[in-house]
Amino acid sequence: MNVARLASLDTSALAETFAARVTSHKTPGSYFALFTRDDVVAEGGFGSQKLMGRAPDRGTVFRIASCTKSFTAATLLILRDQGALDLDTPITRFVPEFLSTSPISSPIAPTVRMLMTMSGGLPSDDPWGDRQESLTTDQFLGVLRTGVQFVSVPGTAYEYSNLGYAMLGLVIEALSGRPYARAVKELLLDPLGLDNTAFEAGFFNADQLAIGCRRSGDEWCELPFSSPGAFSPIGGLFTTASDLMRWSRWLASALDVDNTESGPLSAASRREMQQISRAFPHERGTEAPSGYGYGLMVEADPLWGHTAFHSGGYPGFSTHMRWNAPSGFGIVAFENATYSCVAEPAASALRTVLEQLGKPNLAPTLWPATVELQAKADALIRHWQDGRAGDIFADNVGLDVPLAERTEAITSAIAELGGLTHRITSATLELSDSPAHAVWHIPALRGRLRCEIRLAPTLPARIQTIKVSAELEVAP
């Protein structure tokens, strides 16, 4: 992290934004923390964690609602990595009470992977699912036996399903031989030292707990906590900002190729969680490609790069966690009001910080072989010799277009530009899309020659694609 850039950040507007959430009566209490890989850059707590109580802080315990799904998904991947689970197993293998009815002509049972990626064909079920947490397993199975409706053929479309994640909790129980909450604790929470994260309000001291509220007229009304049950996998966790930042950093660390942080789930599997597995419908997303991974939402912004996030909304609570891989910045935010959508100010706050930092360098680092072959290709284009070409081209190049034709085309392009200058050129990284790809321009008297190579995957490195074209200077 550039210390000078970090010191220049103005985070005063962030505090004002979250303070305004309280004064505008969107929530009784609001807390945010902006963090990097190593530190908390800014934080603030406003209003009260319970009616007539103190302002929330880093140690205040909130329900995190659907942010819990990332813990459920990570636990499933631990079981997968242990060899106990194939993600493409139909859910009916673990929950035979579930009846598949879509498509009507040949019903398909959603797989574990489909449910993890919100593509099981089940209808979106907020806020119904948020009121089912305390169901016993027998009651839940009774619900399934009565039948479930589908809105799409399993595996074909995105639809946010709490019901699907509740069934995934039953998968964890079946394979771990433990109740869901105990499995998450023993496989994830304990190894990561998340000591202030649990599924029961009674685990915490009363003065630590934020109390959820809803607005009734001009007043806030406190709400009781639901008890753990069959729907806890969708949103049952309580935690602090300190623990949620630790969780976020651990997940984010897998996106940093230089980070060697380990833990109960491999970096490879944590990266897998943070890839787009099911794209959002265009109207649900942004202009950037976005979609659902495993218990996390993902945005691949061409300007700001890879961002992973998830929101949580529960009766009395709203939570958001978000991190941007190229910058190393993230944010967690909490409010104790029903569906107050703290995701909106949290996402806006992180975007404000990224804009202050400036556009990140998302260009790939070229392989040394790419740099070497780019220089040789540059020399070849200026002074063609078939012998040199044979030293740097893969066998397909001459088969795709005979070298004589390539030579003629390059000669014509150079003549069109009035000849080349003698200036040596190097690859323009911002135009390259992978370590094996290089784009550069050779200055000419009436414009420039655009050159592009792409390497074959084999060793020793050879060029499999070479493109050369004239770009004439446009008269003012």
**CA neighbours closer than 13 Å in the CB half-sphere of residue 462:** 15
Residue-wise pLDDT for 22-38, tens only, equals 999 999 999 999 999 99
Residue 100 lies in a domain: no
One domain for residues 383 and 329: no
Same-domain check for residues 227 and 326: yes
Residues 6+ apart with CB under 8 A from 258: none
Weakest-pLDDT range from 161-175, 280-294, 312-326: 280-294
Average pLDDT over residues 460-475: 91
CB under 8 Å to 166, separation ≥6 — which residues? 129, 132, 140, 230, 231, 233, 234
Residue 380 domain flag:
yes
- The domain boundary residue, chosen from 298, 325, 357: 357
Helix (H, G, I), strand (E, B) or coil at 333: strand
Q: Is the pLDDT assigned to residue 474 strictly greater than 80?
A: no
Residue 41: per-residue pLDDT? 95
CATH number, domain containing residue 232: 3.40.710.10
| 392 and 374 Cβ atoms separated by less than 8 Å | no
Task: Write out the two tokens for 245.
Answer: 């930042």
Q: Would 291 be classed as within a structural domain?
A: yes
Phi-psi region of 98 (alpha: psi -120 to 50; beta: other; left: phi over 0): beta
Task: Please tell me the total count of domains within the chain.
Answer: 2
Q: What is the pLDDT of residue 285?
A: 53
Average of per-residue pLDDT values in the chain: 94
What integer is the mean pLDDT of 282-292?
A: 76
Q: Do 182 and 285 sit in the same domain of this protein? A: yes
Same domain, 376 and 331: no
Query: Phi then psi for 217, rounded to 5 degrees?
Result: 65, -120
Same domain, 239 and 334: yes
Check whether 104 has a pLDDT greater than 60: yes
Give the whole-number percent of the chain exceeding pLDDT 90.
86
Q: Encoding tokens for residue 150?
A: 């589908």
The whole-number average pLDDT for the span 46-70 is 97
Residues 248 and 336 in one domain: yes
Residues 330 and 226 in one domain: yes
Dump pLDDT digits (tens) for 184-218.
Answer: 999 999 999 999 999 999 999 999 999 999 999 99
Q: Are 58 and 205 within one domain? A: yes
* Cα–Cα distance for residue pair 115/166, rounded to 1 Å: 10
C-alpha distances (whole Å) from 146 to each of 93, 129, 149, 167, 418 are: 18, 16, 10, 15, 79
Mean pLDDT of the region 110-138: 97
Residue 101 is which amino acid? T
- Same-domain pairing of 447 and 307: no
pLDDT band at 422 (very low <50, low <70, confident <90, very high): confident
User: How big is the chain, counted in residues?
Assistant: 476
Instruction: Give 456: exposed, middle or buried? Use CB within 10 Å, 0-12, 13-18, 19+.
Output: middle
User: Do the domain assignments include residue 391?
Assistant: yes
pLDDT score for 209: 98
What residues make up the domain containing 301? 3-81+175-357
Over residues 357-366, the pLDDT tens digits come to 988 878 888 9
Residue 147 within any structural domain of the chain: no
pLDDT at 428: 73
On whether residue 125 sits in a domain, the answer given is: no
- What pLDDT score was predicted for residue 426? 72
| Model pLDDT, residue 347 | 97
pTM: 0.90
The pLDDT value given to residue 5: 62
* 416 in the same domain as 320: no
**Residue pair 322/301 in contact by the 8 Å Cβ criterion:** no
What does the pLDDT look like over 447-461, one tens digit per residue? 999 999 999 999 999
Is 107 among the domain residues?
A: no
Distance of CA 278 to the CA centre of its chain: 12
Q: Do residues 373 and 453 share a domain? A: yes
Considering 299, 331, 357, which residue would you say is the last residue of a domain?
357
Share of the chain above pLDDT 70, in %: 96
Q: What is the pLDDT of residue 65?
A: 98
300 and 374 co-located in one domain: no
CATH number at residue 441: 3.10.450
Mark which of 320, 335, 357 sits at the end of a domain. 357
Per-residue pLDDT at 302: 86
- Coil/strand/helix, residue 463: strand
Task: Provide the pLDDT for residue 178.
Answer: 97
End-to-end Cα, the chain, rounded Å: 42
Q: Is residue 343 part of a domain?
A: yes
| Peptide bond just before 345 cis, omega within 30 deg | no
